[in-house]
Amino acid sequence: MIPSETDLAGQRILVTGAAGFIGAALSHRLLAGGAEVAGADNLSDYYDTALKRARLARLAEHAGFRFVPLDIATPGALDALWAEVKPDVVVHLAAQAGVRYSLDNPRAYATTNVGGFLEVLEAARHRPVRHLIYASSSSVYGANTKVPFQERDPVEQPVSLYAATKRSNELMAQTYAHLYGLPLTGLRFFTVYGPFGRPDMAYWKFTRALFAGEPIPLYEGGRLWRDFTYVDEIVEAIARLTVAPPAHAEEPGRIAAGVPHRLFNIGNDSPVMVNDVVRLLERFTGRTAIRQELPMQPGDVERTWADVSLLRAAIGFAPSTPLEVGLERFVTWYRSYHGLN
């Protein structure tokens, strides 16, 4: 069954990382479907907090939304919130993002991504929920060369600490599902983009550089391939999954038949070369790129590509927005947000 928006009516949903890119977009989608949403976030200054506050300001317009400033990595910090909200579903998106940042700030990843997820799992262990969804990443595929990436592929070659922490999350989830029967679904996101996105992402950096007349850094000469996935379709998939917890042993995405834990890729199943991203942005901004070709960076991979057949089998939906459409929407938003002509 494909859940409809009305299926979310009356659902109490806790979203961690609610001031983040995906967290804020998801909260909007859940609220539109009739859910009550409690959003937790520590408003980390990894990037400009003004953008995070702008996202929250839009969410504050909804009567069903409540924001709670909270660092999930603080031991026990979630207990009181969990007891008060009594969530039916938890969507855990709070994390330290970014591959290259992990090279210089590894402890931030261990604290937030590993320690923070442990706090979420412990809270769910003591106050069980109907479904706990958590964010993983396409980065877990690391140095794999077989494409498209499938959930059953070996993921034993991470090339960044960020990837290692996300793979750790998947193993932790499998353990808690096995030991305590927690219904868990992990989502491997593939290069999410769109309005109100993250300024550290390549498409945002390229757009800013085009408007500023600054060079665009192109690693490996822009010949890397990425499976860009439009944010609205990411959150649509999550919204449908909230009311579709692990139900039976043979369903798509199961790691082990007797354990209520699934993994799904969420990508566009249509990789695009970074050079093509630049060409599209040149068209939509009306600017000409100043190219700065640089060597491959530590932690980078040559290609990402999501096989989404398991996701489609589970919820009857998978992302499909062409990059040309999504990037034009982003540039339109970017002009408005920054007051550009």
Bridge partners, residue 68, by sequence = 40
In a domain, 4, yes or no: no
Going by pLDDT thresholds of 50, 70 and 90, the confidence category of residue 99 is confident
Number of residues written out for the chain: 341
Tell whether 72 is covered by a domain: yes
Q: What is the CATH number of the domain that holds 54?
A: 3.40.50.720
Query: How many domains are contained in the chain?
Result: 1
Q: Is the pLDDT of residue 1 over 60?
A: no
d(CA 224, CA 305): 12
pLDDT for residue 297:
86
pTM: 0.96
* Catalytic residue flag (residue 162): yes
- What's the whole-number mean pLDDT along residues 23-29? 98
Q: Read off the pLDDT of residues 107-116 as tens digits, 9 standing for 90 and up.
A: 999 999 999 9
5 part of a folded domain:
no
In a domain, 3, yes or no: no
In a domain, 2, yes or no: no
One of 162, 193, 230, 334 is an active-site residue; which one?
A: 162
**Domain that includes residue 207, residue range:** 10-338
Percent of the chain surpassing pLDDT 70: 98
Give the pLDDT score at 194.
98
Digit-coded pLDDT (tens) for 120-162: 999 999 999 999 999 999 999 999 999 999 999 999 999 999 9
DSSP, residue by residue, 173-232: HHHHHHHH---EEEEEE--EE-TT--TTSHHHHHHHHHHHT-EEEEEGGG--EE--EEHH
